[in-house]
Amino acid sequence: MTQLQDTAPAPAARAGAGTGDPRRWLALLVIAIAQLMVVLDATIVNIAMPSAQQQLHISDANRQWIVTAYTLAFGGLLLLGGRIADYVGRKRIFLIGLLGFAGASALGGAAGNAGTLFAARGLQGLFGALLAPAALALITVTFTEEKERARAFGVFGAISGVGAAIGLIMGGLLTEYTSWRWCLLVNIPIALIAFALALPIVKESRAHGNTRYDVPGAVLATGGLLALVYGFTKAAEDGWTAGVTLAFFAAAAVMLVGFVVVEAVAANPLLPLRVVAHRNRGGSFLVSVLMGAGIMGMFLFMTYYFQGTLHYSPLRTGIAYLPFSGALIVTAIVGSGLLPRVGPRAMMTTGGVLATIGMVWLTQLKIDSSYPTFILPAFLIMAAGMGLVFVPLGNTALTGVADHDAGVASAMVNTTQQVGASLGVALLNTVFTNATTSYVTAHGPQAAQLGVVHGYNVAFTVSAVLLAAAALTVFLLIRRNRRDRPAEPAVPTQTPELAATAA
């Protein structure tokens, strides 16, 4: 891949603390507002899903598109979005992303049917794939002094963690006391405020040099993942061996194999294969996919369990997730101090095992399980496990990467988490639907509620297998090699958005 050169910032910006752009901290505020919007949207929408499904008459087989339409578009287009921001201009794409995200939110908030809501979520993902890398790149070029940049990224990460908790409560309040539609419409004023502030405050920058896009790679990757997810949906409706299901799986295989071939021969690949060929990096990306797949489905079903089986209000549902978010943040803080002493392999393996134990615990869910004595301990164990995995993940994903590949390697962590979430939600929703249908068929309509809980338990069993596979992958592939030092990431590799999206 040709290394690109950034437009040089103002000379004062290179002088260090106190002599840079006097409005750089205001620029960070604007970027933080945009990040808060993205994080709030993730948590709010998940709390609102049961209400949206009921009002728009969305089937159980298709409800997963509320999540996967967003995560597929976001994850599938994130790498291309970063390239577009670099070439066209980070500020310009940041502004386009804000307006597009607001417009997509308006469309979703006004949706009168399932198709419109799914399309709006996909558009949110598309504009999010422009907005997120542009925001991170703007921080990188705005803060050129090392300590200030670290502080800026710290603020950015804190917004993600705090925003997740705020979104849980706000989602519950808006859904319970207004309408689920406001969980989408609330993005509009936030985006417009950020847009108005960004125009005079944020400075433009772009990369120069070879600026060709790998459009075929983006089309094949996104199309292949879309076909795979749609294949899971058709499996829930028509069965695993139905002709239409197999056709989508075959199309997915052809396009994903085609993506690998294109990336191997392209002059400017979207994903240089050398980035994933390294043992630690490839293992990290695989772990990221498996963890995203295993965790996201669990949160989808627990939201429906809280509101549909235990009859929690949306607000109470949001509050029920707060201990998970808190435990994840605390574990991440503690894990950051442990990592230099114990190393990534031991920490990530332990985390994967803990997450698996928490998921196995949930496979014993009953129709009247107690939150404080049964659900809460499982949440805390899983949160601790996730924290222990995600803290080292960014480090191992950048092991030995060349400087000019650091950006794409960093983005791949977020991309693989979103792709894993998409595939996991689609697969687990299909498993749930088939298990519930089989149970009700065998025991009669009077066992419908028991059948739903049985479906959750079967889905959680598959989730546990995915998390166990992540732990095994760490143990077999991740190695600590002192010669392999991680390059300084072009963007933060730790992504609290995964937990935010899940919760």
- The per-residue pLDDT for range 326-342, each reduced to its tens digit, is 898 888 888 888 888 88
The third-level CATH classification (topology) of the domain covering 276-503 is Growth Hormone; Chain: A; (1.20.1250)
pLDDT band for 1, please (50, 70, 90 cuts): very low
Residue 42 CA from chain centroid, whole number: 9
Average pLDDT over residues 199-220: 81
Residues 152/155/160/161 CA torsion (nearest 10 deg): 140
pLDDT beyond 70 at 2: no
CA distance 386 to 379: 10
Specify the DSSP element, H or E, that contains 358.
Answer: helix 344-362
Q: Give, as one character, the DSSP assignment of residue 487.
A: P
pLDDT beyond 60 at 484: no
CA distance 200 to 203: 8
For the stretch 63-119, pLDDT in tens is 889 988 898 888 888 888 888 888 888 899 999 999 999 999 999 999 999 999 999
What totals of helices (H) and strands (E) does the chain contain, helices first? Answer: 17, 2
The helix-helix angle for 376-397 and 314-342 (nearest 10°) equals: 50
Q: Which residues contact 59 (CB under 8 A, 6 or more apart)?
A: none
Q: Which residues contact 297 (CB under 8 A, 6 or more apart)?
A: 424, 425, 427, 428, 429, 459, 462, 463
- Tokens coding 455: 């479906």
- Tokens coding 131: 């907005």
Residue 355 CA from chain centroid, whole number: 18
Domain ranges of the chain: 1-209, 215-265, 276-503
Query: If you compute the radius of gyration of the chain from its CA atoms, what whole number of angstroms results?
Result: 22
CA distances to 33, 104, 132, 160, 279 from 398, rounded to whole Å, are 28, 34, 19, 22, 11
Phi, psi at 475, each rounded to 5°: -60, -35
For the stretch 227-276, pLDDT in tens is 888 888 888 888 888 899 999 999 999 999 999 999 898 888 888 888 88
CA distances to 96, 131, 199, 219, 275 from 213, rounded to whole Å, are 19, 18, 27, 11, 18
Comparing 487 with 424, the larger pLDDT belongs to 424
Specify the DSSP element, H or E, that contains 172.
Answer: helix 146-177
pLDDT beyond 50 at 314: yes
Average pLDDT over residues 338-347: 88
Phi, psi at 207, each rounded to 5°: -95, 150
- Tokens coding 153: 């990224």
Q: Give, as one character, the DSSP assignment of residue 10.
A: P
Q: What is the CATH number of domain 1-209?
A: 1.20.1250.20
According to the model, what pLDDT value does residue 16 have? 41
Strands 207-208 and 5-6: antiparallel
pTM over 0.75: yes
Please check whether residue 325 is in contact with residue 455, taking contact to mean a CB–CB distance below 8 angstroms: no
Number of Cβ atoms within 10 Å of the Cβ of 2? 11
Name the 3-class secondary structure at 364.
coil
According to the model, what pLDDT value does residue 52 have? 94
Domains 1-209 and 276-503 share a fold: yes
CA distance 66 to 135: 25
Mean pLDDT of the chain: 84
Q: Which residues contact 5 (CB under 8 A, 6 or more apart)?
A: 207, 208, 209
Name the 3-class secondary structure at 503.
coil
- Tokens coding 397: 């994903």
Q: Which residues of 440-459 are buried (b: 16+ CB within 10 A; e: fewer)?
A: beeeeeeeeeebbbbbbbbb
Name the 3-class secondary structure at 210.
coil
